[in-house]
Structure 1
């Protein structure tokens, strides 16, 4: 749109310069009027073209596709809550730790003691063990994860922050 406005401005200015350079000064008004009309028609064409139903359908399709991807990711994460501790540590723990940092403003790299204390206050010792990014188990390959109930409680506490 900026290009069309700039082109219209340049068209009007150019037509006025041409009319001024000519010998008949009575054409300035006519040439400027034609240039403005062309610029306005071009702008109208651009606005009508942009608001076509196809463009609206494309936006709706993009939003629907985005929602489907989000739903698929969410279902995958929820299914990993019932999987093993290794799956929890690989997929859910980093996501939950990131959400915890965004919700509380605590950064693990700045002050580990304050980070840990905030996590224990918010979640309690039992749930903080499942969110704490430092509590990744290297040997818990077949150990069960905490399950959906723990994930639900963690998410509810994050929402309250």
Structure 2
């Protein structure tokens, strides 16, 4: 895009310089305007071409493909929930904490006390440690088993109730 903008500016300036060499000065205005219109049309065509190429309607409208992608993501989430504590901390905890912030509108950076109180009210003392973004275990405890599918299910059900 930067190259296209640079070329457009150079073309307009070049046309202006060529028009200045013409004895009739009225030509300068019309030449500059004409070249600017052509450059704007080319830029518009270029941008529209990229926008059309970026959207792949064949996969976006295929419900079976959407269902397959959703199912694959869900299977990965369940596998990570049944895996180690390290996998839970790395993949599920950030996602769940982000979903909690989006669902409640409470940001930890804004007011940590309100954030924690809202979390305890929603999840309770037993589930909040599995969603808490600050409860990541570092060190030798990474190979502990994760909380499992039941905890993931409980957390997701409570998030759905909001």
Could you list the runs of 5+ residues in structure 1 that have no partner in the other structure?
A: 1-56
TM-score by length of 2: 0.60
Other structure's SS at 2:142 match: coil
Deviates more, 1:115-124 or 1:58-67: 58-67
Q: Which residue of the partner structure matches residue 103 of structure 2?
A: 103
Q: Distance in 2 between matches of 1:155 and 1:60?
A: 26
Other structure's SS at 1:80 match: helix
Q: Which residue of the partner structure matches residue 136 of structure 1?
A: 136
Q: Which residue of the partner structure matches residue 69 of structure 2?
A: 69
Would the alpha carbon gap of residues 110 and 71 (structure 1) be closer, same or farther in structure 2, given more than 3 Å must change? same
Q: Which residue of the partner structure matches residue 149 of structure 1?
A: 150
Could you list the runs of 5+ residues in structure 2 that have no partner in the other structure?
A: 1-56
1:58 CA displacement: 2.8
Would the alpha carbon gap of residues 74 and 112 (structure 1) be closer, same or farther in structure 2, given more than 3 Å must change? same
1:109 CA displacement: 1.2
1:68 CA displacement: 1.6
Name the larger-Rg structure.
1
Q: Distance in 2 between matches of 1:149 and 1:86?
A: 17
1:67 CA displacement: 2.5
Q: Which residue of the partner structure matches residue 114 of structure 1?
A: 114
Residues 59-102 of structure 1: CA distance to partner in whole angstroms, max 9, x if unpaired?
67644323222211111011111111000000100110111111
